[in-house]
């Protein structure tokens, strides 16, 4: 049974998500502020974290950043803000995905399933080398020269797909289908956000 931690200060929303996830067979833990959520994320074994952006005591960006210092548990950021800058901030802090309030529970469940699929399906190749970039598929470690580059699961999958298709033109729609793994209303320009601002694009 997959265990999900919900860090959300809107108790009605948190309870709604909890009931829906438990109905789907997930085990659920909840926290209503950033510090409690961070403590649970670091000291309990969970398979996925649903993390609100705006939290009391410690905001979601800082919570996600501190989680990433310790582990790579998948994180979906929940935010009422839909600006590109807010999305970039969430992704740069280490979130694997984001969903904007209000949302349909079916979309959240689909995003969760997609994250679980990507983390469980083994890669066929052991490593890919391109110029000074080395991607170890088995361990999901990326290095440029001697420097290791930290990537979220989605950033890694996007980089892996691009490296497998060097010198081929991949449409935004194809990237969305392959990386996100389901039909969604997500804007296609999120691909530009990932490529322009993700760590592996930085020199």
* Res 8 pLDDT > 90: yes
- Spatial distance between the Cα atoms of 138 and 127, rounded to a whole number of angstroms: 7
- pLDDT (tens digit per residue) in 25-47: 999 999 999 999 999 999 999 99
Q: Which CATH number fits domain 127-201: 1.20.120.80, 2.40.50.100, 3.40.50.300, 1.10.10.10?
A: 1.10.10.10
Name every residue whose Cβ is closer than 8 Å to that of residue 191 and which is 6 or more positions away in sequence: 172, 175, 176
Higher-pLDDT residue of 51, 81: 51
Return the number of other C-beta atoms located less than 10 Å from residue 56's C-beta: 11
DSSP at 176:
I
DSSP string, 119-141: HHSPPS-SEEEETTEEEETTTTE
Q: Which CATH number fits domain 3-120: 3.40.50.2300, 3.30.450.20, 2.40.40.20, 2.60.120.380?
A: 3.40.50.2300
Cβ atoms 190, 173 nearer than 8 A: no
Highest-scoring range by mean pLDDT, 19-23, 84-88, 192-196, 199-203: 19-23
Token code pair at residue 36: 């409690």
């Amino acid at each position: 049974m997959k265990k999900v931690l919900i860090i959300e200060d809107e108790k009605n929303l948190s309870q709604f998500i909890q009931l829906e996830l438990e109905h789907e067979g997930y085990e659920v833990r909840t926290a209503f502020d950033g510090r409690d959520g961070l403590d649970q994320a670091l000291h309990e074994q969970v398979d996925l974290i649903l993390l609100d952006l705006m939290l009391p005591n410690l905001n979601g960006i800082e919570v996600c950043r501190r989680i990433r210092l310790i582990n790579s548990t998948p994180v979906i950021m929940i935010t009422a803000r839909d600006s590109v800058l807010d999305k970039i901030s969430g992704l740069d802090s280490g979130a694997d995905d984001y969903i904007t309030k209000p949302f349909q529970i079916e979309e959240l469940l689909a995003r969760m399933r997609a994250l679980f699929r990507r983390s469980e399906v083994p890669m066929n190749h052991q490593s890919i080398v391109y110029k000074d970039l080395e991607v170890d598929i088995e361990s999901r470690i990326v290095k440029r020269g001697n420097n290791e580059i930290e990537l979220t699961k989605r950033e890694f999958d996007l980089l892996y797909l691009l490296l497998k298709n060097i010198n081929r033109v991949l449409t935004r729609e194809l990237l969305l289908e392959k990386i996100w793994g389901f039909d969604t209303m997500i804007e296609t320009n999120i691909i530009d956000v990932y490529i322009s601002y993700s760590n592996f694009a930085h020199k």
